[in-house]
Structure 1
Amino acid sequence: MPKLGHIHTHLNLVRRMGQATGVDLSEAMQAGQVTSPEWAEMVTNCRGCACADSCRGWLDQQSLAGRTDRAPDYCENTATFARLARVAAE
């Protein structure tokens, strides 16, 4: 089993990915679009990902370029962010 990354580091990465993809994770939780177990799974997925450094760099670029339509393909939570972005756009 791969070593999991530091929880606070990956919590921050998940939040930043939400911002970059136009997903307000706090709002999604309040609206019932993300459950507590799903939120925990997103952070755990991120903690187990081997691309944290690439992700950090990608997020830094997005903060300069503005919002994007989707998370990068290597993101362990791409499908979840895509689903939440679709719901937010409705």
Structure 2
Amino acid sequence: MRPLGDQNVHFWLAQRMAKATETDLVAATDAAHLSQQEWADLVAQCRTCDWADGCKRWLQTPHDTHDAPPNTCVNQQRFVALKSAMEALDQ
């Protein structure tokens, strides 16, 4: 079993992924679509990912091209679901 990645590194990778995909974590929390435990679980899942270096490179590309995290992101479905839930509230 490989060791988990650094918690702070993956916290910020998850934050940057949310920003890059325009997934509003604060609004999701305020609307009860993301609890503190779910956020902690998302970061913990990120720490298990083998693609952290690729993630860092992906996050350095222009943000206007990112509708969703790449398929290689272990939290892709979570970010897509959160973004969709927040977009549904805006309509």
- TM-score normalised by structure 1 residue count: 0.90
Report what 1:27 is aligned to.
27
Q: Note the alpha carbon deviations across 1:35-77, whole angstroms, 9 max, x for none.
A: 111111110111110000000000011xx24252110001010
5 Å-filtered alignment, 1:4-19, equals 4-19=4-19
3-state SS in 1 of match to 2:60: helix
Conserved in 2, the CA contact under 8 Å of 1:19 and 1:67? no
Report what 1:59 is aligned to.
59
Conserved in 2, the CA contact under 8 Å of 1:71 and 1:78? yes
Give the counterpart letter for 2:56 in structure 1.
R
Q: Sort the Cα spacing of 1:22 and 1:65 in 2 relative to 1 into closer, same or farther, 3 A.
A: closer
Paired with 1:24 and 1:65, the residues of 2 have a C-alpha distance of 14
5 Å-filtered alignment, 1:75-90, equals 75-90=73-88
Give the counterpart letter for 1:69 in structure 2.
D
Q: How many residues align?
A: 88
Report the RMSD for the aligned CA atoms in angstroms. 1.2
Q: Sort the Cα spacing of 1:30 and 1:67 in 2 relative to 1 into closer, same or farther, 3 A.
A: farther
- Any unmatched runs of 5+ in structure 1? none
Give the counterpart letter for 1:36 in structure 2.
Q
